[in-house]
Amino acid sequence: MAADHYEVLGVEREASPDEIKKAYRRLARELHPDVNPSPEAAERFKLVTHAYDVLSDPKQREQYDLGPQAGPFGGGQGFGGFEDIFSTFFGGGGGSRGPKSRRERGQDALLRVEIDLADVIFGAHRDLDVDTAVLCDRCQGSCCEPGTHPVTCDICNGTGSIQRSVRSLLGNVMTSSPCGTCRGYGTIIATPCVTCQGQGRVRARKSIPVDIPAGVDTGLRLQLPGHGEAGPAGGANGDLYLEIKVKHDDVFSRDGDDLLATLEVSMADAILGTTTEFAGLDGQVDVDVHAGTQSAEIITVKNRGITHLRGNGRGDLRIGIQVVTPTKLGRGERELIERFAQQYKGDKPRLSQFQQGLFAKIRDRFLNL
């Protein structure tokens, strides 16, 4: 049972505010840890300080004197709200819910992560440094200094609420409001943890290992359950959400699960055909350019695109051909071209039948570039 505040301070229940203050000062000088370092004095000093906090506040002293079951109009409050009246008549009133818990679920957190386009093909591993709320190592979420515990609030006797009988249009009804001393928790942290200041958690930087799956795209959010902020008083952790952003690549672009690239081919190689290779995002790519290749033709390399996010397999690598026409020719080069032109009697440029497929290839080639 909680000690009586008046007995703790050694004053009568009718003591004036000045008498209460004088009693507290006398006891504080006697019991303060700087003067009396004994454990017994430290415990008494906490009780004396808490008693003075309650009795020096007129509102809290009035509530303490009235006790958890105040009489009609005790505490000087007005009419209860409709919610109180309804809860009384329909089975929920009178503080039946009990004190609220200090433990709450921690907040969710959002972190944006940039990855390279190459990481999208097979996935990637990252160790992310996150500034977040973590469980206090000193009190392990209890909010109290080690070796101490929360004490029952002597204003509401641990119920977390103060009940009053008030007069309303429907007669006298019982209303319930959160206790102002313990804020509805039913207990008081008399000796808060010095590390977390009674919160049960502290801010810290921690590393979180993350496996980013293959096939992700910009804007996709990954959920990591339990990696968000730690909850107050040892409450469960929230979740961490990772929002993906894929960095721009100067050579390759993406169309769904396909990769797009442009291959510049000299006029001679386009005419005669050639075999070439270049570095892809996942290794060397061999390409056969057939003789007579035209600009905007598409060469497809199967299964060299992005790994499907859901399901097996990969997309394709689509390579758009761009035949490069030289703009500056030396005298010897120009003579060779002229001799070729004389031997090759091709048709003069003219309009031909509209080819929808040609524009479709050009569209596909430059899509998302």
What confidence tier does 176 reach under pLDDT thresholds 50, 70, 90? confident
Residue 67 within any structural domain of the chain: no
92-150 pLDDT per residue, tens: 444 446 788 999 999 999 999 999 999 999 899 999 999 999 999 999 999 999 999 99
Q: What pLDDT does 339 receive?
A: 81
In the predicted model, is pLDDT for residue 66 greater than 90?
A: no
Q: Are residues 93 and 236 in the same domain?
A: yes
Q: What pLDDT does 346 receive?
A: 64
Residue 303 within any structural domain of the chain: yes
Q: What pLDDT does 44 receive?
A: 85
Query: Is 144 annotated as belonging to a binding site?
Result: no
State how many domains the chain has.
3
Q: Are residues 221 and 312 in the same domain?
A: no
244 Cβ contact list (under 8 Å, min separation 6): 113, 115, 212, 216, 217, 218, 219, 220, 221, 222
CATH number of the domain to which 36 belongs: 1.10.287.110
Containing structural domain, residue 100: 72-245
Question: CA-CA distances (angstroms) from residue 349 to 169, 346, 352?
Answer: 98, 9, 9
Residue 62 within any structural domain of the chain: no
In the predicted model, is pLDDT for residue 317 greater than 70?
A: yes
Q: Are residues 38 and 168 in the same domain?
A: no
Cα(100)–Cα(106) distance, integer angstroms: 16
CATH number of the domain to which 344 belongs: 2.60.260.20
Q: Are residues 202 and 323 in the same domain?
A: no
Q: What pLDDT does 91 receive?
A: 37
Q: What pLDDT does 85 receive?
A: 39
Cα dihedral 98, 101, 102, 108 sign: negative
Residue 41 within any structural domain of the chain: yes
Picking from 245, 279, 307, the residue at the C-terminal end of a domain is 245
Q: Are residues 135 and 2 in the same domain?
A: no
Q: Are residues 105 and 27 in the same domain?
A: no
Q: Are residues 289 and 149 in the same domain?
A: no
Query: Is 143 annotated as belonging to a binding site?
Result: no
Residue 66 within any structural domain of the chain: no
Cα(156)–Cα(68) distance, integer angstroms: 5
Q: Are residues 112 and 227 in the same domain?
A: yes
Q: Are residues 218 and 333 in the same domain?
A: no
Average pLDDT, the chain: 82
In the predicted model, is pLDDT for residue 257 greater than 60?
A: yes
20 Cβ contact list (under 8 Å, min separation 6): 9, 11, 52, 55, 56
259-286 pLDDT per residue, tens: 999 999 998 899 999 999 999 999 999 9
Spatial strand order of the sheet with 240-246 comes to: 109-115, 240-246, 221-224
In the predicted model, is pLDDT for residue 288 greater than 90?
A: yes
Q: Are residues 87 and 198 in the same domain?
A: yes
Give yes or no for a contact between 145 and 329, defined as CB atoms under 8 angstroms apart.
no
Residue 258 within any structural domain of the chain: yes
